[in-house]
Amino acid sequence: MGLIRKDIKNIEAYKPGKPIEEVERELGIKGAIKLASNENALGPSPKALQAVKKALACLNRYPEGTCFYLKNKLARFLGVPEPNLIFGNGSDELIDIILKTIKEPGAEIITSEVTFVEYKICGAINGFVVKTIPMRNFTYDLTAIKKAISPRTKAIFIANPNNPTGTYVNSNQVTSFLEGIPKDILVVFDEAYFEYAADKDFPKLVRLINKKNIAILRTFSKIYGLAGLRVGYMIANSSLVAYAQRVRQPFNVNSLAQAAAAAALDDKAFVKLSKNLIKNEKKFLYDAFTELGIWFKKSAANFIFIRMNADTRKIFQELLKRGVIIREMNCYNMPNYARITIGTRQENIKLIKELKELEKVINIRGVDQ
Ligand SMILES: Cc1ncc(COP(=O)(O)O)c(C=O)c1O
């Protein structure tokens, strides 16, 4: 018998966006910009930074395992009781905690193609059969997902808005989807980009946590600019939360992350600034892509899914040399597509300038959809 689990041998590790330092080191360049991981271009919330400085003096102590203060604050912020909340080392960890809490031999989870790859990776690591359902117009096809449910289905993962396509399923679609889903199936709505979703018909699901078997995942990594600290949370019925508490590591969210996240909730000015940046810069990039003949999908998040008439792996490499890091979509086997995180105006201008330069040597104009 070999040492390594057979099923692990088939799992491909998650490939994150290339870090700025790595690109600068490898290419011997300075001033690279990263538009690859849907981070906040404005940096971390200033209130969170202040709180981190204060919390540094207590690093000799273990953190509060239950995130006591943060939980209390978030409960008031969301208007939900504390037993409905649990925190994770990023929402990534909560995906794993959920799967560990519900796993059974032979069980399956369902998600979509062209979505956040962690559902697939984490599902496989936890021994689930992972069914991925094709999208419809780059959007989760909830009707097809519902049809794919079998007696072995334990959970359905829906990224809303979806990463990488930026599309969302609306309130009506979600309501009719949830109708008739068996009670023993957990529907996980991963709302990592929830704060950016400005459309009126975006689902408001918090009020459903005790009526339907749903869990909502959110994060401090995106709009609050705290990706480096790793803190996310789940809102769900108190029974699921209580079981998940048994599964998580005792000190899974570090003390700096807890202090920063609690302070970030008060940083209304920063949240507003971040939303405005995305709103304005999205328009700037839409216009620039249109001028360049690059196809894009309208996005409800802080990134844009684009298609060029060229192999984006090549474009990715060429842009890297020019100090611009984007995300090609090779992991989905979509060689003409890329995902661009919306940056500051200065960063977006640099991206467009470099694309215009590239256009002189590579035809990047997208074919019609
Ligand atoms: C849809 C989605 N869910 C979860 C995450 C992970 O977030 P966190 O940093 O909280 O682990 C990401 C990160 O890109 C994401 O796009």
Angle between helices 268-292 and 345-359 (to 10 degrees): 20
Which DSSP state fits 234? E
Ligand 1: residue of 37, 158, 216, 219 to mutate (most ligand atoms within 8 A of CB) is 219
Let me know whether 36 and 103 are in one domain: no
Predicted confidence at residue 361, as pLDDT, reads 85
> Is there a domain that residue 92 lies in?
yes
More confident residue, 18 or 215: 215
- Atom of ligand 1 minimally distant from the CA of 230: 9
- Whether residue 307 is found in the same domain as residue 348: yes
One domain, residues 115 and 193 = yes
**For residue 120, how far is its CA from the centre of ligand 1 (angstroms)?**
13
Which atom in ligand 1 lies closest to the alpha carbon of residue 220?
10
Q: Which of 264, 294, 315 is the last residue in one of the domains?
A: 264
For residue 2, how far is its CA from the centre of ligand 1 (angstroms)?
A: 34
Name the residue with higher pLDDT: 6 or 33.
33
- State yes or no: pLDDT of 214 exceeds 70: yes
Q: What is the pLDDT of residue 369?
A: 45
Domain at 295, CATH number: 3.90.1150.10
> What is the number of the ligand 1 atom nearest to the C-alpha of 227?
9
Say whether both 239 and 276 belong to one domain: no
Rounded to whole angstroms, the Cα distance separating 337 from 328 reads 6
Q: Where residue 367 falls among pLDDT bands split at 50, 70, 90? A: low
Does any domain span residue 30? yes
pLDDT, residue 7, reads 87
* pLDDT value of residue 1: 78
Identify whether residues 306 and 218 lie together within a single domain. no
Question: Do 74 and 165 share a domain, yes or no?
Answer: yes
% of residues, the chain, pLDDT over 70: 99
Strand order in the sheet with 129-133: 85-88, 232-236, 214-219, 186-190, 153-159, 108-112, 129-133
pLDDT at 145 over 80: yes
Residues 277 and 341 in one domain: yes
Could you give the angle at the alpha carbon of 38 between the alpha carbons of 131 and 42, nearest 5°?
160
User: What atom of ligand 1 comes closest to residue 116's alpha carbon?
Assistant: 1
pLDDT digits (tens, 9 = 90+) for 220-259: 999 999 999 999 999 999 999 999 999 999 999 999 999 9
Q: Are residues 203 and 169 in the same domain?
A: yes
Instruction: Tell me: do 197 and 342 sit in the same domain.
Output: no
pLDDT at position 167, please? 98
pLDDT (tens digit per residue) in 81-92: 999 999 999 999
Question: Of 231, 264, 297, which closes a domain?
Answer: 264
- Ligand 1 shell residues, CB under 6 Å: 38, 90-92, 116, 159, 163, 190, 192, 219, 221, 227, 232
pLDDT at residue number 114: 98
Which residues pair with residue 139 across a beta bridge?
Answer: 136
Which of 236, 264, 292 terminates a domain? The answer is 264
Write the pLDDT tens digit of every residue in 175-184: 999 999 999 9
Closest Cα to atom 2 of ligand 1: 192
**Distance from residue 257's CA to the centre of ligand 1 (Å):** 16
Q: 316: domain range?
A: 18-40+268-359
